[in-house]
Amino acid sequence: MNKDKLNSQMQEEKDALVARGALGVLIYELVDTEQLFDRFFIKLTKIIDNAYYSTVQY
């Protein structure tokens, strides 16, 4: 894997983490209980991970 491709992939992973965190804050503000937030966010994280990793080619 060349350096540019590796840097690009690392940046995409960082962007995905930032987006997930921002989405988590938004959801937390919209959801009343912490337990409901945890369950919803765990499911959402799994969906995002599956969608992201199904498109990544190593």
pLDDT at 34 (0 to 100): 72
Nearest to 23 by CA among 49, 38, 44: 44
Q: What's the chain's average pLDDT?
A: 79
pLDDT at 45 (0 to 100): 83
CB-based contact 23:37 (threshold 8 Å): no
Query: Has residue 36 got a pLDDT over 70?
Result: yes
**Within its chain, how far is the Cα of 36 from the centroid?**
18
Q: For residues 32 and 50, give the distance between their C-alpha atoms in angstroms, rounded to a whole number.
A: 27
Count CA atoms within 13 Å of residue 41 on its CB side. Answer: 19
Task: Report percent pLDDT > 90 for the chain.
Answer: 0
Distance separating the N- and C-terminal Cα atoms of the chain = 8
The pTM of the full predicted model, rounded to 2 decimals, is 0.47
